[in-house]
């Protein structure tokens, strides 16, 4: 400990930093960007929390980026050797670690200084008080921004064991190492960090005058927060106070083909087509065969989703948040009718589909906003089947898959397809199961010509094939 103290004294002077930058300090700090620094030993759930927080903040409009100190460390070392790297008296390794810490910190600070960026998350152990003081000094004092610490504390042996296993599976450092050896190395690495670990103090001993939140046992043990003040900090506290599962599978489906789908109409509250009805039966059969424990079904309040899930034996919840994007004055029109009656609206929509709002209706951004409470609840659940609609499922999947905003309105979410989303490490995996029941395609890709004065032909070029009326489909089915 005394040696490590000496190293800190020599090495951690801010003036020794490689890249001294000058920053324009904001006059008032209230609405400044925020640096969140994670604190805690390895295997305490810092990285998954940082990742989840990043996903949530970005989706809800605060542009956020994680800076992972261990990735900087890896740039300086060809391959991870062993726990020796983390010993307090290993001076050359210490230099690499402190250099990595500073590079990550400075990159995060520089990124935060760019207009529009709101929250940088510095993911790493940050176990020493002097490291935290250095973060505070640069970000709070020099830049005039805001700083918040999130400490992950975990004493639950079961949870620790699970976290360690996850590290062995997902960490680059242990790739290719035998499990037993890796586990031993990880324990020693942990012991080195423990020797250097000073937990940020709260209450009258408050270490630094900025918010500190301690998350106990991944949230299962609750949170202790001190000094939270500021809109983004409160929002973050609300998010991280909820425990979330480490194993999670969610299922999504659009309703079965509706009578409106068959004839190419948007919106409305139509019934299922005969083929849509078949899909409902196939879906119920498929889900039953999975035999999912504690299965729940969440649908919209519209007829076509309720009919689709009707045969599934599980508690069902009907939420208006899951209703299809509301197209206002354009409800129940075909694209051909839309082009005929509202050519300007259709062109505006094609030009910027994400932000475009139907007259007296909604935009994709509106749908994303109204979905946030449902997504927050969904993120804490497993074995939920959500039966909803094309635009809504695009917005929901975009959350889990972190789809770039501008791509959301063009995501491919076909009818008669079950989508399975599974948490894998820090990210979500997606699998699709196409049911062998014919249906129309409702995906209209972005036309090349989105100008206000385009021809009807140009506007309608990407409209998918549909029937003129439902009887036509029924005749076709009878003819088979």
Beta-carbon contacts of residue 132 (< 8 Å; ≥ 6 apart): 37, 39, 126, 149, 200, 207, 208
Residue among 6 and 380 whose Cβ is closer to its own copies: 380
Here the tokens at position 124 are 């790493």
Task: Find the shortest distance in angstroms from Cβ 201 to its own copies.
Answer: 12
Give yes or no: 330 in active site: no
With CB under 8 A as the contact rule, the residue among 1, 28, 289, 465 that binds its own copies is 28
Task: Provide the mask over 187-206, with x wherever binding to its own copies is found by CB under 8 A and - wherever it is not.
Answer: ---------------xx---
Position of tokens 């076709």?
476
CB of 319 to its own copies, least distance (A): 7
Give me the catalytic one of 8, 54, 68, 123. 123
Category of 434 on φ-ψ map: left (φ > 0), alpha (ψ -120 to 50) or beta: beta
- Nearer to its own copies by C-beta: 225 or 419? 225
- Provide the 10 A C-beta neighbour count for residue 198: 13
| Per-residue burial over 34-49, b = 16 or more CB atoms within 10 Å of its CB, e = otherwise | bbbbbbbbbbbbbbbb
Do the beta carbons of residue 142 and residue 23 sit within 8 Å?
yes
Nearest distance from residue 414's CB to its own copies, in Å?
Answer: 28
- Provide the minimum distance between the beta carbon of 30 and its own copies in the complex, in angstroms, as a whole number: 5
**How far, in Å, CA of 348 to CA of 331, rounded?**
17
Nearest-angstrom CA–CA distance, 137 and 131: 10
Of 12, 354, 376, 411, the one binding its own copies (CB under 8 A) is: 376
What does the alpha-carbon distance between residue 184 and residue 205 come to, in Å, rounded to a whole number?
Answer: 36
The values of phi and psi at residue 378, to 5°, are -60, -35
The angle subtended at Cα 338 by Cα 467 and Cα 357, nearest 5°, is 125
Write the secondary structure of 350-386 as one string of H (helix), E (strand) and C (coil). HHCCCCCCCCCCCCHHHHHHHHHHHHHHHCCCCCEEE
| Three-state secondary structure call for residue 21 | coil
Binding its own copies (rule: CB under 8 A), the pick from 31, 424, 429, 449 is 31
Please say which residue, 96 or 317, places its beta carbon nearer to its own copies: 317
Instruction: Name the minimum Å distance from CB 232 to its own copies.
Output: 8
Q: How far is the CB of 219 from its own copies (least distance, A)?
A: 8
Region 206-265 residues binding its own copies, contact defined as CB under 8 A: 221-231, 234-235, 237-239, 241-243
Task: Identify the active-site residue in 62, 68, 154, 416.
Answer: 154
Least separation in angstroms between CB 248 and its own copies: 15
- Can 323 be counted among the known catalytic residues? no
Task: Based on the shown chain and the rule CB under 8 A, indicate whether residue 167 belongs to the binding site for its own copies.
Answer: no
Task: Give whichever of 245 and 464 is closer to its own copies, judged by the CB atom.
Answer: 245
If one asks whether residue 292 binds its own copies (CB under 8 A), the answer comes out as no
Whether residue 324 lies in the annotated active site: yes
User: Measured from the CB atom, is 378 or 459 closer to its own copies?
Assistant: 378
Own/partner long-range contacts of 115-118 (Cβ < 8 Å, ≥24 apart): 116/63, 117/33, 117/63, 117/65, 118/33, 118/34, 118/57, 118/62, 118/63, 118/64, 118/232
Q: Which of 83, 192, 255, 466 is catalytic?
A: 255
Residue in 13, 201, 360, 476 binding its own copies, rule: CB under 8 A: 360
What is the C-alpha separation between 60 and 57, in angstroms, rounded? 5
Q: Using an 8 Å Cβ cutoff, are 345 and 330 in contact?
A: yes
Nearer to its own copies, 183 or 228 (CB): 228
For its own copies, the closer CB: 231 or 477: 231
Q: Minimum CB separation from its own copies for residue 239, in Å?
A: 7
Q: What is the DSSP string of 176-225?
A: TS-HHHHHHHHHHHHHHHHHH--PPP-GGG-SSSS-EEEEEGGGTT-EEE
For 30, list phi and psi in degrees, rounded to 5: -50, -45
Our CB check for its own copies shows the closer of 145 and 279 to be 145
Which range binds its own copies by CB under 8 A, 88-96, 258-266, 313-321, 436-444?
A: 313-321
Q: Any idea what DSSP says for residue 246?
A: S
Report d(CA 111, CA 120) in Å as an integer: 8
Q: Using the rule CB under 8 A, is 377 a contact of its own copies? A: yes
Instruction: In whole angstroms, give the CA distance from residue 270 to residue 287.
Output: 24
Q: How many residues bind its own copies (CB under 8 A)?
A: 38
Query: CB 11 → its own copies: shortest distance, Å?
Result: 33
* Residue 158 found at the interface with its own copies (CB under 8 A): no
CA atoms within 13 A on the CB side of 164: 20
Judged by CB under 8 A, which stretch of 5-13, 43-51, 158-166, 373-381 contacts its own copies? 373-381
Active site residues: 123, 154, 255, 324
Residues interacting with its own copies, by CB under 8 A?
Answer: 27-28, 30-31, 202-203, 221-231, 234-235, 237-239, 241-243, 296, 315-317, 319, 357, 359-360, 373, 376-377, 380-381
């Amino acid at each position: 400990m005394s040696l490590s103290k000496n190293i800190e004294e020599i090495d951690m002077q801010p003036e020794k930093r490689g890249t001294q930058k000058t920053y324009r300090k904001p006059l008032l700090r209230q609405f400044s960007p925020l640096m969140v620094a994670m604190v805690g030993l390895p295997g305490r759930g810092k990285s998954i929390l940082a990742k989840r927080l990043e996903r949530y903040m970005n989706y809800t409009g605060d542009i956020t980026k994680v800076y992972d100190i261990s990735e900087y460390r890896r740039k300086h070392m060809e391959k991870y050797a062993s726990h020796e790297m983390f010993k307090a008296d290993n001076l050359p390794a210490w230099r690499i670690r402190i250099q990595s810490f500073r590079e990550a910190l400075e990159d995060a600070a520089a990124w935060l200084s760019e207009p529009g960026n709101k929250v940088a998350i510095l993911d790493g152990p940050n176990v020493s008080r002097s490291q935290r003081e250095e973060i505070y000094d640069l970000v709070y004092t020099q830049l005039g921004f805001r700083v918040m610490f999130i400490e992950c504390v975990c004493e639950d042996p079961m949870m620790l064991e699970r976290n360690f296993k996850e590290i062995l599976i997902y960490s680059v450092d242990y790739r290719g190492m035998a499990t037993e050896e890796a586990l031993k190395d990880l324990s020693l690495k942990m012991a080195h960090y423990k020797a250097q670990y000073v937990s940020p103090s709260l209450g009258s001993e408050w270490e630094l005058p900025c918010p500190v939140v301690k998350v106990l046992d991944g949230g299962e043990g609750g949170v202790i927060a001190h000094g939270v003040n500021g809109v983004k900090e409160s929002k973050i506290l609300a998010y991280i106070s909820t425990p979330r599962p480490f194993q999670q599978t969610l299922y999504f489906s659009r309703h079965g083909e509706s009578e409106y789908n068959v004839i190419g109409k948007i919106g409305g509250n139509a019934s299922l087509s005969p083929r849509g009805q078949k899909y409902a039966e196939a879906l119920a059969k498929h889900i039953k065969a999975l035999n999912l424990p504690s299965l729940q079904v969440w649908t919209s309040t519209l007829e076509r989703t309720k009919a689709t899930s009707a045969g599934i034996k599980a508690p069902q919840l009907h939420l208006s948040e899951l209703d299809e994007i509301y197209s206002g004055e354009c409800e129940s029109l075909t694209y051909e009718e839309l082009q005929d009656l509202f050519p300007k609206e259709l062109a505006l929509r094609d030009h910027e589909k994400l932000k475009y709002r139907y007259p007296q209706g909604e935009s994709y951004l509106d749908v994303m906003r109204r979905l946030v409470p449902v997504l927050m609840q969904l993120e804490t659940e497993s074995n939920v089947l959500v039966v909803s609609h094309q635009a809504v499922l695009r917005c929901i999947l975009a959350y889990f898959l972190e789809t770039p905003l501008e791509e959301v309105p063009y995501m491919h979410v076909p009818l008669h397809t079950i989508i399975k989303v599974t948490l894998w490490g820090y990210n979500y995996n997606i699998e699709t199961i196409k049911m062998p029941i014919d249906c129309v395609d409702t995906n209209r890709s972005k036309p090349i010509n989105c100008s206000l004065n385009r021809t009807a032909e140009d506007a309608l070029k990407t409209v998918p094939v549909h029937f003129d009326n439902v009887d036509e489909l029924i005749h076709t089915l009878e003819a088979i």
